[in-house]
């Protein structure tokens, strides 16, 4: 009869605590507990797969029941009948339960009933519950009392890879041992020993790759070595890559060099070559993300290349490639590739989207890579964000007034005119620094506003806010003081637009200031309320009173001071049925005749103010009337 083949992870399973690989703390603690005969009623072994949890439970059972020793011992003989039965899983008093198939409370009740009976062959009855996190809440609760106060000579060992799902009441009743992933050096040394015992012709580079790809799991490493042993010697690293279906480091490094050179054709050809050779797109993406991490480490610590996971013969090439790409681009590529693996895995065209994803990394504009220049350091034109802004409605600006000749008393003209003069511009709201820096900030602010989704937010910020300062980490926006609360409520939308326009997020700071320049009403805008007649200053005490006279249009004009000729006043418009023709404006000759009269210092009204008053009257469907004359001494 042909003997059944025994896999390497079964053949080389540890038989004593000193044979555990990479778990010295667990081995020393349990060995001392056995030597001092301090056996706990329940243990919890937690840790990643393939790190020795079930093997440690079997070693504990043999150490408690070895017939070659009168009591518990950390070094069971492994030759007695009981040790052999426990190793093969045939012992009556060592019961291993798979919690995934025994999740109900009835299974736990049966286990509790059986635990009350004394051991048949051994000194201790040991229950090993593998993957105990699969038990239901009712099953856990049924086990609570037995775990805390079990029958004499009964030990429970719970093993799990997900201790977070175990009830806290269970954890408090167990001694917990956390099994860590096996270090790379210990794992590689153990594989060398197995390869020598089994006469497997494998190169050290291939063994290093096997230990590295197993990610700290001894069972995974031994299974992979078992598969490689079927290949003819010598087994090189390429065989490991082919067996794993992963992308070799040298091919990923060539792809990274093409990306560093920003050559789209070379990137597409390298990606297509990998895919044509049977590499999965998800595997290419995983390898590229891992290589970018290694390049980042090589860039910040070129003297510690052993921290990287690249093959030792390729490590000297990493610092140069990292310098060509730059730390900023490496971090940005890592951020953009985050989450792409899941999207690629569920795509119906993963090859297409992998190429699009890699080309998207190269198509990033230079302006997004570096922050736009600040007010004091204007950058070159090629580093500006070239995104075309949407047309943003801006407040209308009145044309400049025509120059007015100096008059003896300009104050009365301002009081009796149709509109007040525009307020002087606020020096604090002007952009910092004239010239290209101010223009760049204004243009960049329009591009940021163009990226806003809501038109109402875009209109609000265009009129009541402006970009004041900008650097690589922060953007300062000045907001009119009365609108600060509303702008703060829409701050997430503005931060998103800033990140979209600049290519990277910025810390956004709102600075309260005066009214925004574009928010001030100009002479071409409508006034806040419909005016009635505008009166001049109150008459002097020595001037005779002037009684108001009815207007030809039916409206009553307010009393005006004497001495003002041809003064214009905006009146409320009467109904259309009672509207009278507008009296003609005085001609220049009439004005000159009035000025020739013996009156003190008459005031001339500028033609520009006449035009402004006419436009304002038409806007309110009113009219401009004249004829309010008075004595200048009363002004």
Q: How confident is the model at residue 154 (pLDDT cuts 50, 70, 90)?
A: very high
Distance CA 241, CA 182 (A): 22
Backbone angles phi, psi at 130, to 5 degrees: -85, 145
Residues 6+ away with beta carbon under 8 Å from 550? 556
Percent of the chain's residues with pLDDT above 90: 20
Q: Give yes or no for a cis peptide into 234 (omega within 30° of 0).
A: yes
> Are residues 406 and 603 in contact, defined by beta-carbon separation less than 8 angstroms?
no
Please check whether residue 266 is in contact with residue 334, taking contact to mean a CB–CB distance below 8 angstroms.
no
Residues forming beta bridges with residue 508, ordered by sequence position: 475
Decide if pLDDT at 26 tops 90.
yes
- Contact present, 131 and 100 (Cβ < 8 Å): yes
Query: What DSSP string runs through 259-289?
Result: HHTT-HHHHHHHHHHHHHTT--HHHHHHHHH
- pLDDT given for residue 488 in this prediction: 81
606 vs 212, residue with greater confidence: 212
% pLDDT > 70, the chain: 69
Q: Which pLDDT belongs to residue 118?
A: 86
What is the residue whose two structure tokens read 């590499």?
A: 279
pLDDT surpasses 70 at 352: yes
Report H helices in 12-104. Answer: 24-35, 53-65, 81-88
Residues near 440 by Cβ (< 8 Å), separated by ≥ 6?
Answer: 372, 373, 378, 379, 384
pLDDT score, position 191 = 94
Per-residue pLDDT at 157:
94
* Polymer length in residues for the chain: 635
pLDDT at residue 501, as a whole number: 83
Residue with the larger pLDDT of the pair 2 and 494: 494
pLDDT(532) > 60 = no
Mean pLDDT, to the nearest integer, of 571-576? 40
Give yes or no for a contact between 43 and 174, defined as CB atoms under 8 angstroms apart.
yes
pLDDT score, position 306: 84
Using 50, 70 and 90 to split pLDDT, how confident is the model at 188? very high
Lowest mean pLDDT across 176-190, 434-448, 453-467: 434-448
Most confident of the ranges 81-85, 368-372, 551-555, 569-573: 81-85
Report residue 21 CA to chain centroid gap: 40
Grade residue 618 by pLDDT with cuts at 50, 70 and 90. low
Q: Give the pLDDT of residue 44.
A: 95
Q: What is the pLDDT of residues 271-311, one digit of tens each?
A: 888 888 888 888 888 889 999 999 999 888 888 888 888 88
> What is residue 409's predicted lDDT score, i.e. its pLDDT?
41
Domains of the chain from N-terminus onward: 8-178 (3.40.50.300), 184-244 (1.10.8.60), 249-364 (1.20.272.10), 428-519 (3.30.300.180), 531-545+555-577+584-635 (no CATH)
Calculate the alpha carbon distances from 624 to 396, 528, 566 in Å: 24, 19, 11
The better pLDDT of the pair 621, 217 is held by 217
Predicted confidence at residue 2, as pLDDT, reads: 61
Long-range CB contacts for residues 218-222, cutoff 8 Å, separation at least 24:
218/9, 218/21, 218/22, 218/50, 218/51, 218/52, 218/182, 218/187, 218/190, 219/9, 219/49, 219/50, 220/49, 220/50, 221/50, 221/187, 221/190, 221/191, 222/7, 222/8, 222/9, 222/12, 222/191, 222/194
- pLDDT for 228: 92
Instruction: Check residues 127 and 632 and name the one with the higher pLDDT.
Output: 127
The pLDDT of residue 503 is 80
pLDDT at residue 515 in the model: 52
The residue with greater pLDDT, 205 or 602, is: 205
Nearest to 510 by CA among 487, 492, 530: 487
pLDDT in the model for residue 619? 61
* C-alpha gyration radius of the chain: 44
The pLDDT of residue 438 is 54
Question: What is the Cα–Cα distance from 361 to 138, expressed in whole angstroms?
Answer: 52
pLDDT value, residue 29: 94
pLDDT above 90: residue 156: yes
Please provide the DSSP assignment of 135-152 as one string: S-HHHHHHHHHHHHSPPT
Q: With a cut of 70, say whether residue 13 has pLDDT above it.
A: yes
Average pLDDT over residues 202-211: 91
Asked whether the predicted pLDDT for residue 398 surpasses 60, the reply is no
pLDDT in tens, 420-442: 444 444 444 444 433 335 557 88
Predicted pLDDT of residue 336? 84
Q: Is 517 or 108 the better-scoring residue by pLDDT?
A: 108
Query: Residue 606 has what pLDDT?
Result: 54
Eight-class DSSP state of 409 = -
Longest Cα–Cα distance in the chain = 143
Per-residue pLDDT at 378 exceeds 50: no
Residue 333 phi, psi (nearest 5): -65, -40
Q: CA–CA separation, 605 vs 417, rounded Å?
A: 8
Of 16-20, 313-317, 443-447, 598-602, the poorest mean pLDDT is in 598-602
Q: Are 471 and 509 in contact (CB under 8 A)?
A: no
The runs of H, that is alpha helices, within 36-167 are 53-65, 81-88, 105-115, 137-148
Name the pLDDT band for 338 (thresholds 50, 70, 90).
confident
Tokens of 432: 């910092």
C-alpha neighbours within 13 Å on the C-beta side of residue 28: 4
Residue 356 has which token pair?
């699009």
Average pLDDT score over residue span 201-211: 91
- Determine the average pLDDT of the residues in 146-160: 91
């Amino acid at each position: 009869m042909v003997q059944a083949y025994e896999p390497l992870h079964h053949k080389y399973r540890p038989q004593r605590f000193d044979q555990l690989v990479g778990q010295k703390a667990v081995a020393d603690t349990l060995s001392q507990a056995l030597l001092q005969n301090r056996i706990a009623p329940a243990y919890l072994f937690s840790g990643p797969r393939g790190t020795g949890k079930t093997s440690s439970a079997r070693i504990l059972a043999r150490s408690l029941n070895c017939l070659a020793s009168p009591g518990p011992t950390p070094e069971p003989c492994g030759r007695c009948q009981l040790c052999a039965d426990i190793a093969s899983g045939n012992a009556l008093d060592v019961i291993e339960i798979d919690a995934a198939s025994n999740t109900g409370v009835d299974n736990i009740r049966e286990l509790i009933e059986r635990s009350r009976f004394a051991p048949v062959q051994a000194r201790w009855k040991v229950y090993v519950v593998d993957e105990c996190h699969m038990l239901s809440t009712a099953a856990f609760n049924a086990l609570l009392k037995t775990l805390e106060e079990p029958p004499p000579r009964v030990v429970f060992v719970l093993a799990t890879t997900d201790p977070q799902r175990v009830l806290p009441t269970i954890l408090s009743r167990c001694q917990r041992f956390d099994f860590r992933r096996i270090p790379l050096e210990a794992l590689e040394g153990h594989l060398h020993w197995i390869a020598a015992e089994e006469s497997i012709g494998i190169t050290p580079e291939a063994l290093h790759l096997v230990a590295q790809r197993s990610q700290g799991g001894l069972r995974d490493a031994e299974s992979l070595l078992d598969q490689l042993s079927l290949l003819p010697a010598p087994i090189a690293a390429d065989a490991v890559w082919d067996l794993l279906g992963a992308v070799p480091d040298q091919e990923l490094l060539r792809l990274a060099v093409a990306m560093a050179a920003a050559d789209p054709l070379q990137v597409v050809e390298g990606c297509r070559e990998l895919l044509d050779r049977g590499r999965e797109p998800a595997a290419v993406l995983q390898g590229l993300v891992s290589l970018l991490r290694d390049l980042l480490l090589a860039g910040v610590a070129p003297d510690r290349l052993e921290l990287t996971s690249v093959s030792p013969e390729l490590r000297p090439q990493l610092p140069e490639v990292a310098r060509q790409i730059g730390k900023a681009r490496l971090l940005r590529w890592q951020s953009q590739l985050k989450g792409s693996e899941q999207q690629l895995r569920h795509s119906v065209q993963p090859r297409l989207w992998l190429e699009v994803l890699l080309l998207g990394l190269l198509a990033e504009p230079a302006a997004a890579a570096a922050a736009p220049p600040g007010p004091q350091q204007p950058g070159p034109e090629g580093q500006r964000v070239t995104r075309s802004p949407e047309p943003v409605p801006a407040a209308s600006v009145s044309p400049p007034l025509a120059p007015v000749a100096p008059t003896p008393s300009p104050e009365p003209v301002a009081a009796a005119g149709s509109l007040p003069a525009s307020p002087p511009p606020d020096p604090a709201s002007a952009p910092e620094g004239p010239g290209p820096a101010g223009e760049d900030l204004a243009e960049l602010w329009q591009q940021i506003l163009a990226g806003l989704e809501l038109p109402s937010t875009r209109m609000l910020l265009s009129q009541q806010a402006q970009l004041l300062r900008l650097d690589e980490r922060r953007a300062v926006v000045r907001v009119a003081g009365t609108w600060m609360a509303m702008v703060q409520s829409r701050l997430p939308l503005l931060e998103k637009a800033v990140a979209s326009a600049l290519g990277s997020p910025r810390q956004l700071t709102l600075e309260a200031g005066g009214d925004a320049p574009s928010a001030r009403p100009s002479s071409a805008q409508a006034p806040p309320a419909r005016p009635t007649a505008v009166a001049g200053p109150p008459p002097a005490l020595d001037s005779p009173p002037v009684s108001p006279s009815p207007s030809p249009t039916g409206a009553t004009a307010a009393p005006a001071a004497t001495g003002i000729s041809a003064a214009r006043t905006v009146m409320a418009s009467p109904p259309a049925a009672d509207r009278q023709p507008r009296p003609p404006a005085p001609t220049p000759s009439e004005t000159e005749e009035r000025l020739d009269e013996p009156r003190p210092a008459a005031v001339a009204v500028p033609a520009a103010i006449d035009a402004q008053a006419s436009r304002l009257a038409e806007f309110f469907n009113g009219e401009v009337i004249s004829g309010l004359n008075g004595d200048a001494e009363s002004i």
